[in-house]
Amino acid sequence: MLIVIIVVFMIASWAVSTRLKNKFKKYSQVTLGSGLSGREIAELMLRDNGIYDVSVTSVEGKLTDHYNPANKTVNLSSDVYNGRSAAAAAVAAHECGHAVQHVKAYRWLEFRSAMVPVQNVSAKIINFVFIAMFIGAFGLNMLGTSTALLVITGCYSVFTLFAFVTLPVEYDASNRALAWIQDRNIVDDREHKMAKDALNAAASTYLVAALGALATLLYYVMIFLGSRD
**Catalytically annotated residues:** 95
Determine the residue type at 98: H
Judge contact between 126 and 187, C-beta under 8 A. no
Q: Are 111 and 57 in contact (CB under 8 A)?
A: no
Helix and strand counts by DSSP (H, E) for the chain: 7, 3
Residues 6+ apart with CB under 8 A from 158: 115, 118, 119, 122
